[in-house]
Structure 1
Amino acid sequence: MAIVQQNELRQELGDFSSIVCLKAIVVGVEEALGEKAAAIAMISAGRQRGKKLAEAMDLVDKGSSLSLEELTKQAQEALGKDGTRLCVIDKISQEGDVYKVSAHETVCSAGESPGSSRQCTFTMGAIQGFLEAFLGKRLRGTQTESVLRGGNFDLLEYTVLPQVNH
């Protein structure tokens, strides 16, 4: 896929690294900053990554010209097994000003024990940044369901924030 291979960062190892190493970064940041500050940092980092992916796919401000099915397909391509492998996106739906994203095999939930309180902070941020760039709107994300706590998938909900006019 073009997003991953267009600018390979390492000649011998390629652009992918171990999920175990990524999880170590997340846990280390949580230990250093505390859970709330780490969540803010991980969501912010994810948002930046998601925006860059949407830009690389030339999807910025395309929300009015593509259907939710096409958006789902594009997000699957960018974040799924043919892209960054961050997660598998099953579906993106909309109810009023809320976009709902059902995902599984999220990088954040990988290796976690059933019942773990782990939230999908980086994943939620990456999808949020991707959606924000695509829609041209600012969003607030929350995780409302988790595979770690009995859900069939990780459900991430994004509410459109009112535009502030200066």
Structure 2
Amino acid sequence: MAIAKNELRQELGDFSSIVCLKAIITGVEEALGDKATAIALISAGRQRGKQLAENLDLVDKGKEISLADVTKKLQDALGKDGTRLCAIKKIFQEDEVYKVYTHETVCSAGEPQGSSRQCTFTMGAIQGFLEAFLGERLRGTQTESVLRGGTYDILEYKVLGAIQK
């Protein structure tokens, strides 16, 4: 069996079960509590997002590449043809806020309607990517959830200022 250049495991490939990931998340919540887990997952997501921007050679390209073009790259990287973290419908800027419309996030998968689950890792991953791409520090919040009646998981990122290098 030939190994793909970017494949991490020879026999099983790069992907794992959402069921196992959700078990990790709920186990960490049980051990650390909801708030500490959310902080850790957002931080881990931010690191992943920054790594993704580096891998796609998009760091500090926010003035060179349109948000529409980078949205397509992020859709490909995180969607069904990529890591399958989430499906991204659209990203746009409104004043000093970037709005990202997602669905089928790994964070919401398998959760019952009405669940208070937030898209912490997904929010962090997109935040880290946007921060690296734009060269700006952002603060992310989830303003709508498919688990609580929304059509999308809407993630908003407020610009806090330029990243100090």
Structure 1 length as normaliser, TM-score? 0.94
Evaluate the alpha carbon distance shift between residue 142 and residue 6 of structure 1 in structure 2; reply closer, same or farther with a 3 A threshold: farther
- Match of residue 68 from structure 1: 67
- 1:7 matches 2:6: yes
Match of 2:51 in 1: 52
Alpha-carbon offset, residue 161 of structure 1: 0.8
Rounded Cα–Cα distance in structure 1 between residues aligned with 2:88 and 2:20:
22
Matched, 1:90 2:79: no
- Structure 1 portions without partners, runs of 5+: none
Kindly provide the amino acid, as one letter, of the partner of residue 58 in structure 1.
D
CA distance in 2, matches of 1:79, 1:126: 10
Identity of aligned residues (%): 77
Structure-to-structure mapping, 1:1-166, within 5 angstroms: 6-163=5-162
Query: Residue deviations 1:83-110, cap 9 Å, x none?
Result: 1100000000101110000000000000
What is the SS of the residue equivalent to 2:151? Answer: coil
Letter in 1 for 2:160: L
- Aligned residue for 1:138, secondary structure, equals strand
Task: Report the alpha carbon displacement of residue 7 of structure 1 after superposing the two structures with TM.
Answer: 2.3
Tell me if the contact between 2:136 and 2:163 (Cα under 8 Å) persists in the aligned partners: no
Is contact 2:135-2:162 (8 Å) kept?
no
* Counterpart Cα distance in 1 of 2:20 and 2:45: 16
Provide TM-score, normalisation by structure 2.
Answer: 0.94
2-structure distance, mates of 1:81, 1:162: 32
State the shift of 1:50 in Å.
0.8
Deviation at 1:71, TM superposition (A): 1.6
Q: Cα RMSD over matched residues?
A: 1.4
Deviation per residue, 1:1-57 (Å, 9 max, x gap):
xxxx64211000011000111111111111111100000000000011111111111
Give yes or no for contact 2:138–2:159 (8 Å, CA) kept in 1: yes
Q: Which 4+ runs in 1 deviate beyond 3 A?
A: 163-166
